[in-house]
Amino acid sequence: MDILLNAANAALLVAHDLRREVEVGLLLLGPPDPPRFVRLEGFRLRSYQPDIRSNAALVRRALQDASRIERETSPGVFGSKTTFEEALDRLGPAFVYAKEGGTDIRQASLPADATFVFSDNQDLTQAEEQALTDRGVLVLGLGPLALHTDHAIAIVQNELDRRQL
Ligand SMILES: C[S@@+](CC[C@H](N)C(=O)[O-])C[C@H]1O[C@@H](n2cnc3c(N)ncnc32)[C@H](O)[C@@H]1O
Indicate the number of domains in the chain. 2
Maximum Cα–Cα distance across the chain: 44
Do 32 and 10 fall into the same domain? yes
Do 54 and 105 fall into the same domain? no
Phi/psi of residue 91, nearest 5 degrees: -80, -35
Check residue 46 and report its DSSP letter.
Answer: S
Q: What is the pLDDT of residue 125?
A: 98
User: Which of 83, 105, 130 delimits the end of a domain?
Assistant: 83
pLDDT tens digits, 40-93: 999 999 989 999 999 999 999 999 988 999 999 999 999 999 999 999 999 999
Residue 79 one-letter amino acid? G
121 lines ligand 1 (CB under 6 A): yes
Do 48 and 101 fall into the same domain? no
User: Where do runs of H (alpha helix) occur along the chain?
Assistant: 2-12, 52-63, 84-91, 126-134, 149-163
Q: Is the pLDDT of residue 37 over 90?
A: yes
Do 78 and 137 fall into the same domain? no
User: How far is ligand 1, taken at its centre, from the CA of residue 64, in Å?
Assistant: 29
User: Which of 61, 83, 105 delimits the end of a domain?
Assistant: 83
User: How far is ligand 1, taken at its centre, from the CA of residue 129, in Å?
Assistant: 14
Could you list the residue range(s) of the whole structural domain that residue 4 is in?
A: 1-83
CATH at residue 21: 3.40.1280.10
User: Which of 66, 83, 100 delimits the end of a domain?
Assistant: 83
Contact 63, 79 (CB under 8 A): yes
Whole-prediction pTM: 0.96
User: How far is ligand 1, taken at its centre, from the CA of residue 99, in Å?
Assistant: 6
Among left, alpha and beta (phi > 0; psi -120 to 50; other), residue 136 is: left
User: How far is ligand 1, taken at its centre, from the CA of residue 67, in Å?
Assistant: 31
Contact 81, 66 (CB under 8 A): yes
104 lines ligand 1 (CB under 6 A): no
pLDDT tens digits, 110-144: 999 999 999 999 999 999 999 999 999 999 999 99
143 lines ligand 1 (CB under 6 A): yes
Do 115 and 62 fall into the same domain? no
CB burial of 109-123 (b: ≥16 within 10 Å; e: otherwise) equals ebeeebbbbbbbeee
